[in-house]
């Protein structure tokens, strides 16, 4: 299971990023049935989760202060972003592909969590790397115009991680960790892909990444 040291440093949070071998991280298993019912659409809607198995419709960001209810996203090459307050009072999961990044789902998620409370910690999970992510010249130009040269480190190649971090820092988040490596090119010791990747040609089940606030004894 892929985890973040930053998130691990918050005792009351459990989290994990999925892999090809474990699509649902084992850490999410205790409350997995309580997760929201949702449909990701590469948009910018960030939904507040107030109850177990809440039906939220179309959304790509989810946040909660309810212990025991996991918020999670499904990804294959897009950015899975997990956010938590240092005091474990709120957590969020965000699915950010190029459309969501371009349209601002990350600042929308940070704004939804609000300015009050303990500082936010951010973990950017397994994501396609810039070397593997070639796009059209027009799309690369649009990203360079909006996010600068760091977003397009080579001709027609987008760096989704760099764009995510730029947006996090612009929104005031300074505790940021990148984990997991590239979903497209990373292999294990035996040469098998570590993750699912649309760009590589994988279809079917995708990987889940998420987190939850651990409930106090007697709350479940």
Residues linked to residue 2 through DSSP beta bridges, in sequence order: 17
Taking only the tens place, the pLDDT of each residue in 167-191 is 999 999 999 999 999 999 999 999 9
Residue 147 lies in a domain: no
Contact 93, 61 (CB under 8 A): yes
pLDDT of the residue at 134: 97
Q: Report if residue 82 sits inside a domain.
A: yes
pLDDT tier at 58, thresholds 50, 70, 90: very high
| pLDDT tens digits for range 84-134 | 999 999 999 999 999 999 999 999 999 999 877 789 999 999 999 999 999
Residue 43 lies in a domain: yes
Domain-located, residue 133: no
Contacts 24+ apart (CB under 8 A), 47-53: 48/112
Domain range for residue 37?
5-127+172-213
- Indicate the average pLDDT of the chain: 95
Domains held by the chain: number: 1
Residue 42 located in a structural domain:
yes
In a domain, 162, yes or no: no
Q: What is the CATH number of the domain that holds 89?
A: 3.60.140.10
Single pTM value for the model: 0.96
Contacts of 24 (CB under 8 A, 6+ apart): 18, 32, 208
- Quote the pLDDT of residue 217: 62
In a domain, residue 166? The reply is no
Least Cα distance to 107 among 138, 155, 68, 147 occurs for 147
Q: Is 151 within the bounds of a domain?
A: no
């Amino acid at each position: 299971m892929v985890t973040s040291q930053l998130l691990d440093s918050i005792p009351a949070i459990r989290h994990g990023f999925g892999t090809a071998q474990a699509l649902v991280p084992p850490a999410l298993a205790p409350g997995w049935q309580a997760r929201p019912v949702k449909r990701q659409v590469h948009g910018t809607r960030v939904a507040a989760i107030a109850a177990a198995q809440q039906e939220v419709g179309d959304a790509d960001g989810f946040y909660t202060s309810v212990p025991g209810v996991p918020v999670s996203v499904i990804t294959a090459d897009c950015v899975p972003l997990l956010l938590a307050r240092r005091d474990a009072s709120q957590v969020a999961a965000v699915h950010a592909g190029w459309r969501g990044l371009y349209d601002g789902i990350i600042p929308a998620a940070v704004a939804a969590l609000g300015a009050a409370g303990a500082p936010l910690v951010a973990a950017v999970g397994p994501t396609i790397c810039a070397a593997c992510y070639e796009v059209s010249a027009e799309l690369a130009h649009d990203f360079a115009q909006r996010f600068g040269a760091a977003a397009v480190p080579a001709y027609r190649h987008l760096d989704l991680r760099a764009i995510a971090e730029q947006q996090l820092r612009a929104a005031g988040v300074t505790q940021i960790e990148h984990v997991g490596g590239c979903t497209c090119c990373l292999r294990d010791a035996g040469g098998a892909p570590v993750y699912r990747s649309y760009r590589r040609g994988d279809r079917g089940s995708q990987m889940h990444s998420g987190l939850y606030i651990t409930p106090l004894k007697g709350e479940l």
